[in-house]
Amino acid sequence: MDQETANYIADYFSHLLTSTEKLAFKQISSVIKLGLDSGSTDKVSLINTYKKIGWLTDDENTLLLVAGGVDILNLKAATRIMNESEENVFLNYCPKCNRLARTPAAKQCRHCSYDWHDLTNK
C-alpha cells in the first residue's frame, strides 16, 4: 500500500480505527502541539493535564505504534483496516486516470482535473 492510500484511509475511515490506534494519533498530535518532539520538557503541568484527559499516554502498545511516526502509523492502521474490513472502505478513483481522488466524495481529480459530476453512480 502506498502512503497516499494509507493517509486517505486513516483520514476518511478513522471510525474503523481501534481504540489503541485512536490514542496513538492523539499521542502524535499532542506531542507535536506541545513541542515535545523538539525535546522541550518545560511543560510538566501541560503534560500531566494531557495525560489526565487521555491525549498523552504511557501505554506501551500505543507508544510502539507511534515509534515510527505518523506515516508508519497510517500505513499500519490502513493495512489492518483493509485486512479486517475492506468492504467498509470506499477508495474513490478517478474514472479517467485511475488515481485516488482527494476525498471519498470528490468528483474532480486533483491529478488530471477530470470532472465526473455528471456521471451517475451505478
DSSP string, 33-94: HHTGGGT----HHHHHHHHHTTSS---HHHHHHHTT-HHHHHHHHHHHHHHHHGGG----B-
Q: What was the pLDDT predicted at 4?
A: 96
Band (39; pLDDT cuts 50, 70, 90): low
Q: What does the pLDDT look like over 48-100, one tens digit per residue?
A: 899 999 999 999 999 999 999 999 999 999 999 999 999 999 999 999 999 99
pLDDT at 34: 87
Taking the domains of the chain in order of start, what are their residue ranges? 3-88, 92-122
Burial call 3-41: b when 16+ CB within 10 Å, e when fewer: eebbbbbbebbeebbeeebebbbbbbebbeebebeeeee
46 or 90: which carries more pLDDT confidence? 90
In a 13 Å sphere around the CA of 110, the CA atoms on its Cβ side amount to 9
pTM over 0.75: yes
Query: What span, in angstroms and rounded, lies between the C-alpha atoms of 57 and 26?
Result: 9
